């Protein structure tokens, strides 16, 4: 194998290898093995990368663990290339970047994006990024593994937060074309079977350069691969990340989590998980290992058997466990070049219909719900730059031969969901309203 294609520059020794379904052998150095072996990192084995997407795509059971190793590997390949080309000055920096990459998702909650809004809405809030920072700096296992191997946890945090002193390092992990996206598009496309979500990662890496301003850019000859990357992302938003049924199950999980946090507030662990300060305490005591998808599923199963759990919560849990969750009744989603208006007529109408349905069906508030999101596909400031033949670089969004300039800039998701059991009734009422 050519040096660098295994993700390690000459002089950095692998002590272990793991076989990965995307990249083949992933080499691990001694500090990386120490981090992987911590209870905090092992937790990622029990958090699925795509939360409840396996309800729609049965193969989508891959985890944050394999993704984290994949991101580290892609970072290794790209950083080694940049090191060989003189844009990264030392091998130690390649190692630091690999470690930052492997830790970038360590702060995900159980079921990731489904549950994270619960924590973002706390007072004070706790976002996924804040939790990651807390774990790197305060989790005794991760912090000790870093410090024992001579790595400054603050440097790792600075890279993860995009404010490290070497600006190139920030772009590698949090730019439009970053190693996180390169791995998750490949991995999610493979496991869902959505083949048009895949990308040519080797072509992308081979054509990535650094422009005159020190920013990551793609050579003109890599334009096809770059276009494919943006198109793949767009397809994955629509076919997977915002798939109607997957979003429905994530809404359901969020509601169940809120209720279980309230119902079990007298349990010491749940009492801690209800506040940002409590989560902080769990992290600092090195007890985060239990907080994953399986823990939440166990709590849900337990709740079904408990008398104190109200009937409505039980119905929600059954709807999730037995795959009888929300079904879309109306979907006005569409692409757009502008942001979604706050007074969007479609959205107002969906809320109006949801109120009418609740009244006519005499159903509880949870029976009908509206989901609205405004997803940026391309943002002018973030668009990857393309290096032209004269050596200058321009935004891919402005490149005269690029398809990217014709792509929609946003996806507006506007949907009305009804619990599956009530869907036939709701459909009948809806047809009467429309008449």
Partner 1 sequence: MARYSDVAALLKALGIKIEGDDLRNRLVVQKVVYLAQACFGLDLGYKFKWYSRGPYSRGLGREFGRIVKSMDSGGGELEWGRVGEMRMFIDRLRRIGDDEAEVLEIAASLAMLCRDIYPPVQDPVAELLRRKGFLKKEVVGRVWEVVRSVCCLGTGGEH
Is 344 an interacting residue with respect to partner 1 (CB under 8 A)?
no
User: To which residue do tokens 């890599």 refer?
Assistant: 222
Query: How distant is the alpha carbon of residue 373 from its chain centre?
Result: 16
Is 92 an interacting residue with respect to partner 1 (CB under 8 A)?
no
Structure tokens at 127: 């976002």
Whether 146 and 136 have beta carbons less than 8 Å apart is answered as yes
124 SS3 class: coil
Is 390 an interacting residue with respect to partner 1 (CB under 8 A)?
no
Among 57, 151, 164, 242, binds partner 1 (CB under 8 A): 164
Select 300 or 383, whichever has its Cβ closest to partner 1.
383
Give residue 7's region: left, alpha or beta (phi > 0; psi -120 to 50). Answer: left
CB of 428 to partner 1, least distance (A): 38
Select 157 or 239, whichever has its Cβ closest to partner 1.
157
Beta partners for 415?
331, 371
Select 212 or 281, whichever has its Cβ closest to partner 1.
212
Q: What is the DSSP string of 352-394?
A: HHHHHHHHHHT--GGGEEEEEEEEES--TTTSPEEE-TTS-EE
Is 129 an interacting residue with respect to partner 1 (CB under 8 A)?
yes
Rounded to a whole number of angstroms, the CA Rg of the chain reads 23
Q: Using CB under 8 A, which residues numbered 141 to 160 contact partner 1?
A: 152, 154-155, 157-158
Select 214 or 424, whichever has its Cβ closest to partner 1.
214
CB of 241 to partner 1, least distance (A): 16
Among the listed residues 381, 432, 423, 378, the one whose alpha carbon sits nearest the alpha carbon of residue 402: 378
Select 85 or 337, whichever has its Cβ closest to partner 1.
337
Is 123 an interacting residue with respect to partner 1 (CB under 8 A)?
no
Residue 312: partners with Cβ closer than 8 Å, 6 or more residues away: 364, 366
User: To which residue do tokens 């334009």 refer?
Assistant: 223
Judged by CB under 8 A, the stretch of 76-84, 90-98, 206-214, 319-327 that binds partner 1 is 206-214
Select 103 or 158, whichever has its Cβ closest to partner 1.
158
Is 382 an interacting residue with respect to partner 1 (CB under 8 A)?
yes
Whether 44 and 142 have beta carbons less than 8 Å apart is answered as no
Is 373 an interacting residue with respect to partner 1 (CB under 8 A)?
no
CB of 42 to partner 1, least distance (A): 28
Structure tokens at 69: 């190793």
Is 162 an interacting residue with respect to partner 1 (CB under 8 A)?
yes
Is 379 an interacting residue with respect to partner 1 (CB under 8 A)?
yes
Contact letters for partner 1, residues 174-193 (x by CB under 8 A): xx------------------
- Distance in angstroms (rounded) separating the CA atoms of residues 24 and 69: 11
Is 258 an interacting residue with respect to partner 1 (CB under 8 A)?
no
CB of 336 to partner 1, least distance (A): 10
Among 24, 58, 364, 376, binds partner 1 (CB under 8 A): 376
Select 294 or 379, whichever has its Cβ closest to partner 1.
379
Cβ count within 10 A of residue 196: 12
Q: What is the DSSP string of 234-259?
A: HHHIIIIIT-HHHHHHHHHHHHHHHH
Q: Is the dihedral of CA 90, 96, 99, 104 positive or negative?
A: negative
- Distance in angstroms (rounded) separating the CA atoms of residues 248 and 225: 33
Task: Report how many residues bind partner 1 under the rule CB under 8 A.
Answer: 32
Among 339, 352, 364, 424, binds partner 1 (CB under 8 A): 339
Is 200 an interacting residue with respect to partner 1 (CB under 8 A)?
no
Point out which residues bind partner 1 (CB under 8 A). Answer: 129, 152, 154-155, 157-158, 161-165, 167, 170-171, 174-175, 212-215, 338-339, 341-342, 374, 376, 379-382, 385, 395
């Amino acid at each position: 194998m050519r040096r660098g294609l295994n993700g390690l520059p000459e002089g950095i020794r692998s002590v272990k290898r793991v076989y990965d379904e995307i990249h083949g052998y992933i080499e691990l150095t001694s500090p990386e093995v120490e981090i992987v072996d911590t209870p905090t990192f092992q937790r990622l084995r029990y958090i699925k990368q795509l939360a409840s997407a396996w309800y729609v795509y049965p193969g989508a059971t891959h985890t944050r663990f394999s993704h984290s190793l994949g991101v580290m590997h892609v970072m290794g390949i790209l950083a080694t290339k940049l090191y060989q080309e003189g844009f990264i000055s030392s091998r130690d920096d390649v190692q630091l970047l690999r470690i930052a990459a492997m830790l970038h998702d360590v702060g995900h909650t159980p079921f990731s994006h489904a549950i994270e809004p619960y924590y973002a809405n706390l007072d004070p809030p706790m976002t996924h990024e804040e939790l990651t920072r807390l774990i790197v700096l305060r989790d005794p296992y991760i912090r000790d593994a870093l410090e024992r191997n001579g790595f400054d946890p603050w440097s790792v945090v600075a890279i993860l937060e995009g404010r490290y002193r070497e600006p190139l390092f920030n772009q590698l992990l949090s730019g439009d074309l970053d190693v996180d996206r390169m791995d998750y598009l490949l991995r999610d496309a493979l496991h869902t079977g959505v083949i048009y979500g895949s990308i040519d990662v080797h072509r992308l890496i081979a054509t990535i350069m650094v422009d005159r301003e020190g920013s990551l850019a793609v050579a003109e000859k890599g334009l096809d691969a770059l276009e494919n990357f943006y198109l793949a992302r767009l397809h994955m938003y629509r076919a997977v990340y915002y798939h109607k049924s997957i979003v429905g199950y994530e809404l359901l999980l969020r509601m169940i989590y809120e209720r279980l946090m309230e119902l079990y507030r007298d349990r010491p662990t749940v009492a801690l998980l209800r506040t940002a300060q409590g989560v902080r305490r769990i992290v600092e005591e090195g007890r985060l290992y239990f907080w994953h998808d399986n823990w939440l599923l166990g709590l849900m199963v337990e709740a079904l058997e408990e008398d104190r759990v109200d009937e409505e919560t039980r119905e929600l849990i059954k709807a999730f466990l037995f795959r009888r969750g929300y079904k879309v009744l109306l979907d006005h989603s569409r692409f757009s070049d502008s942001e979604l208006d706050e007074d969007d007529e479609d959205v107002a109408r969906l809320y109006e219909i949801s109120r009418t349905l609740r009244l006519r069906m005499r159903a509880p508030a949870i029976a009908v719900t509206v989901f609205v999101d405004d997803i940026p596909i391309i943002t002018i400031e973030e668009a990857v730059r393309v290096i032209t033949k004269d050596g200058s670089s321009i935004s891919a969004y402005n490149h005269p031969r690029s398809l990217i300039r014709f792509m929609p800039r946003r996806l507006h998701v506007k949907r009305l969901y009804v619990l599956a059991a009530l869907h036939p009734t709701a459909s009948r009422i809806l047809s009467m309203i429309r008449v």
